[in-house]
């Protein structure tokens, strides 16, 4: 997790699969927009997509009101409202990467080292696929 600054003030944490949009480099900083979804009642977590469980950011209480809500929809699978949101951030250049292969390799090393002691290791591609479809299987 990487602490970054919200353009509207305050600090949040970005997780590894947060995608930065409309980014610009300014010195040693990157300014960008992060898009995501919040489940109503759990606004501290920003997910990659509606009803999916890949987290992209964690928002403390004071930052939750500083996001832009673009729409709210009801999801039948989770039986709850979801808000499509975006927010602008500033992050250190050395805290972000465009190299998804290196990011997956780093995550795989963590998985092999820390997670496989209790269960079989799960590769990045399998984990991503399972994270994106598990909600629809638990009906």
Break the chain into its structural domains and give their ranges.
Answer: 1-96, 97-139
Question: pLDDT for 49-82, tens place per residue?
Answer: 987 788 999 999 999 999 999 999 999 988 999 9
pTM metric for this prediction: 0.79
Residue 95's pLDDT band, with cuts at 50, 70 and 90, is confident
CA distances from residue 75 to 36, 52, 59, 79, 135 in whole angstroms, order as listed: 15, 11, 22, 6, 11
User: Does 15 or 86 have the greater pLDDT score?
Assistant: 86
User: In the predicted model, is pLDDT for residue 139 greater than 80?
Assistant: no
Phi-psi category of 76—alpha, beta or left, where left has phi over 0 and alpha has psi -120 to 50? alpha
Q: Binning pLDDT at 50, 70 and 90, where does residue 11 land?
A: very high
């Amino acid at each position: 997790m990487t602490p970054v600054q919200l353009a509207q003030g305050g600090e949040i944490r970005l997780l590894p699969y947060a995608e930065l949009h409309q980014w610009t480099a300014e010195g040693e900083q990157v300014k960008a927009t992060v898009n995501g979804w919040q489940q109503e009642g759990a606004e501290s977590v920003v997910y990659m997509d509606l009803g999916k469980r890949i987290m992209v950011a964690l928002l403390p209480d004071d930052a939750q009101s500083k996001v832009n809500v673009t729409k709210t929809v009801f999801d039948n699978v989770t039986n709850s409202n979801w808000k499509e949101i975006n927010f602008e951030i500033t992050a250190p250049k050395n805290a972000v990467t465009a190299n998804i292969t290196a990011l997956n390799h780093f995550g795989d090393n963590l998985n092999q080292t820390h997670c496989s002691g209790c269960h079989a290791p799960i590769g990045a591609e399998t984990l991503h696929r399972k994270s994106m479809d598990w909600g629809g299987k638990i009906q």
